[in-house]
Amino acid sequence: MNIAEQKKQALNDVQSAADAAALEAVRIKWLGRSGQLPAIMKSLGALAPEARREAGRLANELKNEVTAALDARKAAFESAAVRTSASAFDVTLPGRWRGLGSLHPITQVIERATAIFRSMGFTVASGPDIETVFNNFTALNTPEDHPSRAPTDTFYLKENTILRTHTSPVQVRTMLAQKPPIRIIAPGRCYRRDTTDATHSASFHQVEGLYVDRKVSLADLKGDVSYFAKQMMGPDVKVRFRPHFFPFTEPSVEYDFSCHVCGDKGCRVCKQSGWIEISGAGLVNPRVFEHVGIDANEWQGYAFGMGVERIAMILFGIGDIRNLYENDVRFLAQFA
């Protein structure tokens, strides 16, 4: 019995197998119940003890090496089958460019606005989307019969709990939590029962600002908003302030940026006026200070808000606010 020669023959049979079926035949021939290896193991009993020990070692080597060779050959056949199948990945093909991800235009505007105001000494504050009626309306001097309190304008969750209609409640929370001087901005999402059109949405974003200190004037407000506009939109942007009324500021203004979509000529976005309304602002009403425990005789302040989507529309020349929410990758890829 020459087990070494038989092992050599078995390994040669494995390498000579042309396909998976031939390989299986080799396995049965050598390792099957009626194969060569079981026959060798049966014949060991007739050998002398010393010879039996050596023959047993060689038989185990035969089994282990042939098994390993069979497994390797089988894996090679399977790999080749995958490479030649119709669904296989062809490594010779050029790669497909999937493109890099990018920040959403709204996120880009919020980050740019935050960076600009931080450079002016503002810090970032935040608050919950679900607010109390006190923080959203009462503390901001909004009368109980004001139209904005109506269920037709505001999403009520409970009698005294709503989805915030602006980020101004963050101002209230900040003034209740810390003493002046205060200089914060509060970017965040807001909710109103607006009918969706080219410039309005029921869910939108604002960047709210509050500055409380001694001897704060309307000139400070105008200067800071104008500086922001030129840093955000470029040196050619125009800013105008119009008298208005808000219960939480006195005096109050609305401010507009010139429309970049039409170049001040008039279009659907700016309603043919050449201007896009950004938001309202003004000096903090002393009654607001009373609600949060700040002495209006010692401290003054201004507050402003701005619509992030409207700034994005001006900055990127977007004609319809709904494009920002439709998640069309082809549209969003323009802002990568």
- pLDDT at position 148: 92
- pLDDT at position 55: 78
Pairing of strands 182-191, 123-124: parallel
Strands (E), the chain: 123-124, 130-132, 156-158, 161-163, 182-191, 203-213, 239-246, 249-258, 275-284, 300-307
Residue with tokens 């977007």: 318
- Predicted TM-score (pTM) of the model is 0.68
- pLDDT at position 195: 83
Averaged pLDDT, groups of 10, the chain, 336 residues long: 79 86 85 82 80 80 86 84 61 77 91 96 96 96 92 91 95 96 96 84 93 95 94 88 94 88 73 83 96 96 92 84 87 84
- pLDDT at position 84: 60
Alpha-carbon gap, residue 222 to 241, rounded angstroms? 8
Q: Are 270 and 262 in contact (CB under 8 A)?
A: yes
- pLDDT at position 250: 94
The residue extents of the domains of the chain are: 3-84, 105-335
| CATH architecture of the domain with residue range 105-335 | 2-Layer Sandwich (3.30)
Q: Are 206 and 166 in contact (CB under 8 A)?
A: yes
Q: Which letter does DSSP use for residue 196 in this model?
A: P
Alpha-carbon gap, residue 22 to 19, rounded angstroms? 5
- pLDDT at position 235: 87
- pLDDT at position 279: 85
Alpha-carbon gap, residue 79 to 89, rounded angstroms? 12
- pLDDT at position 86: 53
What is the DSSP code string of 200-222?
--SEEEEEEEEEEETT--HHHHH
- pLDDT at position 285: 96
| Phi and psi at residue 226, to the nearest 5° | -65, -40
